[in-house]
Each structure stands twice: as structure tokens, then as C-alpha cells.
Amino acid sequence: MRIAELAAGAIAAALAASPLSAQLSTPEQAAVAAVDAGFERDVAELEAITLVNSGTHNHAGVKAVADMLIPAFEELGFTAEWIDQSVAGRAGHLFARHSGDPATKRVLLIGHLDTVFEPSSPFTGFVRDGDRAVGPGILDDKGGVIVILSALRAMKVAGTLEGANIVVALTGDEEDAGDPLELARRDLVAAGQWADVALGFEGLSTLDGRDAGVIARRSSSSWKLTTRAASGHSSGIFSDDAGYGAIYEMARILDRFRAELPEENATFNIGLLAGGTPAELAEDELSATTEGKTNIIPSIAIARGDLRTLTSEQDERIVAKMRAIVADHLPGTSAEFEFESRYPPMAPTDGNRDLLAQLNRINADLGLDEQLPYPPSRRGAADISFVAPYVDGLAGMGPGGGGSHAEGEYVDLPTIARQAKRTAILIGRLAKQPRD
């Protein structure tokens, strides 16, 4: 059903019904009614894009999903642009832009086209069973894309879209960002610098069964540690001549990480470890080969891990501690520490808290429960973190569900409508606020 055909009936229904709240304006009531009226259309569109494989490395599939969405944005009055990312080894990004009153706040909506399920995955299809639907990437993040479209269509029906300044950024490589990262996220960062507010549409978080608000997400960085020593007969280990060997040096460092680095909202995992004479990482650094004997002092050990923090300051402080620990060598050993910052943190700022307060006023107007802040230690990194230094933001604006990144991933379909209503009203109110 086209938007123009939906508009008259949705507004009439909203005005005829009892007001949801005295605080919801007539256009906001119309937006709520429009979301409900378009629910089955939204589910059908979710099915259509879920059935197209768009694993990050399936470039044709990512582009195909973008091509399916472009007409929907253009019908809403957006200018859609495909930003090729072949130079970063990825398919590309879909950006859609809508211009309104230049004096009012600019809003950036962030989602992604790709999934973790490549064409080789046996998890395919779309299965609906009542209020639940199952499919690859249906929650992360194709359901989030549908929330965005549902909200924007409701705003169009209600007349609140016309004056709004909006950029929709749907990246094509959120699950495995392109390289170099600076190029892969250049357009997203530019959109963040343009915007005043960013909303991230990955899945809804819950606390004790109630919807929660996401005002912070932790970083995701990686590190590699290589320890070296002279090899020799094991009978000489710990002596001044032979030293301690590469594996004891590795054990010393990792145990001090365990004992000295823990602090609130920080985690550091060791995902791969190999040592011997020799030990070597594969080219993709996802596996290693090694050999050795019990009577030979090992010459090399290698470990790879991640670091997740809540703020840039916390990130810098912990990395400095890691480097200091690494530098305190056992006799006869050396060590090299490499750190790569990938996804920055989205810190819990006052601006983010204010946005959640605005959303909770909308919840009250809709008759919904208050959304309490979700613990950042329980959310992974996301694209919204790249724009966090420039804008106030809320994440977790996508639908609810579970099983992300695994066979059986599902979405609770009614949450698409709930999140779309919140989003449509929030953007509509932001669009009336003057820029700072």
C-alpha cells in the first residue's frame, strides 16, 4: 500500500479513537495509527529483504538489499546514494538524505545491510509463527532497517516528516568493517559531524523483561602479543645463560593482565594462544601452527585478544598498563605488543541521558513503561560509536528478539511497531527543536 493511500485512513482512525494520552499531539496520534496500519506491509518487507543473503562478503547480496530499499526512501522524499566501498574490500553503504528546516536539529539514523551469514551458511529462509519470525539477520539488523522505514512512513502520513533534517546511514560492512577503517567509516563520521542526534537501530535491550534504553556501548579493539627467547635444552631453563623461554614470558604477562587490569566496564579476552619452536600465525591471524618438544626451551609464543572499554580515557589508561606490564621482561626474553583500535566507545554522556529522558516522556505519553539505562557491559560495539564523539545518541532502537549471529535468530514482530512509534514521535519532536 502506498503512503498516500494510507494517510487519510490512518489519520481519520487516529482522530476517531480515544486519545492515547493528552500529551500526544494530533499528528503524533496519526503517526501511531499509521504504524499499526502498516504492520503487515512492514512484515512483508522484512521477509523480502531477509530472503536475500547479504553476508558481509557477499557484495552482490548487500547491494541487492540496498536496491530493494532505495525506492522506499525515494517515495518518502529522500535522496538515496549508493557509496561504493570496493577500495576498502567491501560492497558499499546506502545513505538516504532528507532536508527540512535548516534551523532545527539534524538527526542521523544508523543501521546496516549486512549480516554474519554468508552464502555458505545453512541458515536460510523466513519462517513466521504468530508474533515471531525466524531468519538470518532478521534481528541484526534487517529488523532495524524496517523500524526506520516504518517510522519514516508514519511521519510522512502524520505530516511531521516535511520539516525534518534526516540522514539514514545503512552500512554494508558492520559485521566485518572494511580496511582501512578510516575509509570504511569516512562517510558515517561525516554524517555524525553534520548531525545533532544519532539513533542506532540494532536490537532492543531488555532488563527483567522490560524495554531498556541504551545510552552507552563499549569499544572493541584488538591486540597481539609476541614473546621471544633463545631456544636451547630444557635442562638449562631459568639459568642466567638460558633464561626463561617465550612461554613463561607469555604466562607472566597474561597473568599480570588478569590480576592488574580489571576495572568496571572493562574486559580483555585472550582468543588465541600458541607457543613452541617455532610458532606462527596464519595469514588471517585466526589460527596458528606450532611444534615443540618437552626438552626444548620454546623460542616464540603468540597471543591475540580484544579489549572493550566504556570511554576513550579508560581505553588509553588500560593500554598504557598493558604496555608497562609487557616491558617488564623475565631474564632472557623479549616481548612485542601491538594494539589496534577498531570500534571506539560510546560513552554515557549527559546529552545521551537527556535523549533517554525525552524518550521516556514519549513512553509515558504512549502508556509504556519507563526505559531504564541498560548496562553497557552487556552490549557489544556498533557503528553508532563512530559518531559518538560528535553527537548525542541512543542505541538499541531496533526491534526485540534473540539469537543474533546464530541459527534460529528471531525477531518479536510486535516490537517493530513499538519501536517505530517511539522513533516517529522522537524524531518529530527533535525536528521542532532549534539547533544548539
Question: Using 50, 70 and 90 to split pLDDT, how confident is the model at 22?
Answer: low
- What's the CA gap between 239 and 53, in Å, rounded? 59
User: What whole-number percentage of the chain has pLDDT above 70?
Assistant: 95
Asked whether residue 17 carries a pLDDT value surpassing 50, the answer given is: no
| DSSP strand pairing (197-200 vs 106-112) | parallel
Interval 133-160 mean pLDDT: 98
Interval 313-317 mean pLDDT: 95
pLDDT at site 308: 95
The values of phi and psi at residue 273, to 5°, are -150, 130
Q: From residue 347, how far is each of 1, 315, 337 by CA, in Å?
A: 41, 11, 26
19-39 exposure pattern, b = at least 16 Cβ within 10 A, e = fewer: ebeeebeebbbbbbbbbebbe
Asked whether residue 4 carries a pLDDT value surpassing 80, the answer given is: no
Asked whether residue 138 carries a pLDDT value surpassing 70, the answer given is: yes
Q: Are 43 and 128 in contact (CB under 8 A)?
A: yes
Q: Angle, nearest 10°, between helix axes 414-430 and 143-158?
A: 50
Asked whether residue 352 carries a pLDDT value surpassing 70, the answer given is: yes
In this structure, what C-alpha cell is assigned to residue 172?
554494508
State the pTM of this model.
0.89
pLDDT at site 9: 57
- What's the CA gap between 17 and 6, in Å, rounded? 17
pLDDT at site 18: 42
Give pLDDT tens digits for 242-287: 999 999 999 999 999 999 999 999 999 999 999 999 999 999 898 9
98-113 exposure pattern, b = at least 16 Cβ within 10 A, e = fewer: bebeeebbbbbbbbbb
Where in 314-390 does DSSP place strands (E)? 333-343, 372-373
Range(s) within the chain of domains with CATH label 3.30.70.360? 220-343
pLDDT at site 378: 87
Q: Are 46 and 142 in contact (CB under 8 A)?
A: yes
Asked whether residue 165 carries a pLDDT value surpassing 90, the answer given is: yes
In this structure, what C-alpha cell is assigned to residue 115?
549480516
- What's the CA gap between 93 and 95, in Å, rounded? 6
Question: Using 50, 70 and 90 to split pLDDT, how confident is the model at 379?
Answer: confident
In this structure, what C-alpha cell is assigned to residue 105?
536539529
Interval 54-82 mean pLDDT: 98
User: Topology of 3-217+346-430 in CATH?
Assistant: Aminopeptidase (3.40.630)
What does the mean pLDDT of the chain come to?
A: 94
pLDDT at site 380: 78
Classify domain 220-343 at the CATH class level. Answer: alpha beta
Q: Provide the 10 A C-beta neighbour count for residue 149.
A: 23
Asked whether residue 42 carries a pLDDT value surpassing 50, the answer given is: yes
Q: Are 387 and 192 in contact (CB under 8 A)?
A: yes
Range(s) within the chain of domains with CATH label 3.40.630.10? 3-217+346-430
Asked whether residue 415 carries a pLDDT value surpassing 80, the answer given is: yes
Asked whether residue 299 carries a pLDDT value surpassing 60, the answer given is: yes
Interval 356-383 mean pLDDT: 94
Left (φ > 0), alpha (ψ -120 to 50) or beta: where does 337 sit? Answer: beta
